[in-house]
């Protein structure tokens, strides 16, 4: 079947009223079952091989930072971008870097970069009854046969975390999830046709995932598979209509996340204990999203005080860390200040029209607050700078 574009781009003479009209789609022209074209689109979506154009996007960043002499990157996600390409990008980004501590932190998958390995783990804070995340960093040589328990914990968490994709798809499809869809439609202003269209696409995507399960890379079993599927339909249905679909689906996803059971995650204390037995460093990322964990007294090396998603309270968090350090005994290890670029490399592989500008702007090791004159005042009082954190944390990891 030939898909019909629902909203051609408006011409230069379109008046304001026409531009404000909600784009729509003729549902009678939308296939309910995956077509051959859908299958081709699906395999293109899950293909982790990079094209020459994508490789070029990775190795040629849009800007360089020759004045940055230290690179501290302990919260970033390579996803399926090959490390040799990432190494080229980093050399271009920071041509004069003298000190580096670069550790990848894939979600629930341990990865090794040079002498170090890292992972970002989803877990459960029982004291506050909420999901939290931890950054774990290791000297790679410590991840021998003793790491089998931690690796099993990560594999369980990855599998359970991936199940959220199917909960999202079901929320877009099943009659029993009508309440979620109605609430999401109300929040996003979606009409019935749009809600039905998204349900049709979710049903096709679910069928394709289940039919070709053995061919789907584990890194693709994530909520963003739905977003990426819809993005691939932009050339057929237009940017405005798909943008409205994405807004609606985001509202559904937020509700699914709120209802996602935490009981199958490992407790944060369990993860920390197992990681510490392997000599790990532990950092709490983007604490603005996980305020209560700052009060839990977990055995950690430090807090992330800045993140592209968490930047409002950076100075306050530096002050909190400094205050906690002043109250510690001289024999206790000091809490360190970290900043996380939270760069997801797959975002840079997309066609420019489909990229999220905010996420695409993130770079591994690019953390402007280290140089912000106002924030530097707080860092100086706290006795922290990038050089000191790199030296101290590398020493702790061994």
For 290-312, the pLDDT digits (tens) are 666 776 788 999 999 999 987 78
At 14 the pLDDT is 35
> Above 90 in pLDDT, residue 328?
no
> Above 70 in pLDDT, residue 137?
yes
At 8 the pLDDT is 39
**Structure confidence at residue 23 as a pLDDT band (50, 70, 90):** low
- 323 closest CA partner among 383, 393, 391, 387: 383
- Match 């702007």 to its residue by tokens: 361
For the ranges 92-101, 108-117, 257-266, 385-394, which has the lowest average pLDDT? 257-266
> Above 80 in pLDDT, residue 204?
yes
Give the β-pairing of 336-339 and 76-77: unpaired
At 301 the pLDDT is 96
Q: Taking the domains of the chain in order of start, what are their residue ranges?
A: 22-50+161-259, 61-143+278-397
The total of other beta-carbon atoms located within 10 Å of residue 255's CB is 18
Give the C-alpha separation, 325 to 336, whole Å. 9
> Above 70 in pLDDT, residue 337?
yes
**Structure confidence at residue 356 as a pLDDT band (50, 70, 90):** confident
Q: What is the pLDDT of residues 59-95, one digit of tens each?
A: 999 999 999 999 999 999 999 999 999 999 999 999 9
Element containing residue 320 per DSSP (H, E): helix 314-326
For the ranges 236-240, 287-291, 326-330, which has the lowest average pLDDT? 287-291
Arithmetic mean of pLDDT over the chain:
90
> Above 70 in pLDDT, residue 130?
yes
**Structure confidence at residue 349 as a pLDDT band (50, 70, 90):** very high
Q: What is the pLDDT of residues 235-262, one digit of tens each?
A: 899 999 999 999 999 999 999 988 888 8
The percentage of the chain sitting over the pLDDT mark of 90, rounded to a whole number, equals 76
The CATH number of domain 61-143+278-397, selected from 3.20.20, 2.70.98, 2.60.120, 2.120.10 = 3.20.20
At 193 the pLDDT is 95
pTM confidence score: 0.87
**Structure confidence at residue 18 as a pLDDT band (50, 70, 90):** very low
At 291 the pLDDT is 67
Beta bridge partners of 338: 304
Backbone angles phi, psi at 169, to 5 degrees: -60, -45
Give the C-alpha separation, 80 to 50, whole Å. 9
At 71 the pLDDT is 98
């Amino acid at each position: 079947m030939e898909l019909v574009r629902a909203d051609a781009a408006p011409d230069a003479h379109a008046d304001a009223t026409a531009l404000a009209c909600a784009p729509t789609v003729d549902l009678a022209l939308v296939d309910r079952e995956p077509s051959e074209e859908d299958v081709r689109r699906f395999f293109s979506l899950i293909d982790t091989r990079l094209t020459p154009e994508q490789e070029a996007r990775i190795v040629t960043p849009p800007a360089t930072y020759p004045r940055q002499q230290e690179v501290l990157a302990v919260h970033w996600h390579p996803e399926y971008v090959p490390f040799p390409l990432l190494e080229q990008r980093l050399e271009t980004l920071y041509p004069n870097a003298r000190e580096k501590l670069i550790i990848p932190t894939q979600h629930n998958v341990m990865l090794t970069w040079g002498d170090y390995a890292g992972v970002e783990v989803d877990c459960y804070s029982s004291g506050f009854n909420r999901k939290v995340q931890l950054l774990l960093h290791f000297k790679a040589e410590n991840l021998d046969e003793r790491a089998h328990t931690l690796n099993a914990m990560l594999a369980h968490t990855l599998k359970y975390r991936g199940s959220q994709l199917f909960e999202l798809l079901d929320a877009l499809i099943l009659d029993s999830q009508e309440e979620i869809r109605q609430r999401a439609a109300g929040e996003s202003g979606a009409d019935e046709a749009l809600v039905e269209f998204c349900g049709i696409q979710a049903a096709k995507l679910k069928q394709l995932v289940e039919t070709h399960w053995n061919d789907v890379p584990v890194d693709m079993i994530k909520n963003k598979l739905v977003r990426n599927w819809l993005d691939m339909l932009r050339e057929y249905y237009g940017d405005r209509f798909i943008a409205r679909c994405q807004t609606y689906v985001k509202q559904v996803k937020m509700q699914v996340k709120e209802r996602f059971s935490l009981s199958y995650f490992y407790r944060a204390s369990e993860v920390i204990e197992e990681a510490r037995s392997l000599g790990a460093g532990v950092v709490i990322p983007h604490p603005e999203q996980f305020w209560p964990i700052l009060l839990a007294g977990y055995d950690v090396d430090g807090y992330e005080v800045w993140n592209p998603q968490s930047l409002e309270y950076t100075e306050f968090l530096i002050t909190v860390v400094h205050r906690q350090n002043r109250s510690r005994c001289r024999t206790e290890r000091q809490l360190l200040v970290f900043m996380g670029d939270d760069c997801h490399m797959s975002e840079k592989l997309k066609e420019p029209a489909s990229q999220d500008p905010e996420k695409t702007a993130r770079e591994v090791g690019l953390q402007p607050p280290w140089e912000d004159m106002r924030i530097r005042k707080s860092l100086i009082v706290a006795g922290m700078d990038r050089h000191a954190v790199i030296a101290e944390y590398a020493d702790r990891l061994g």
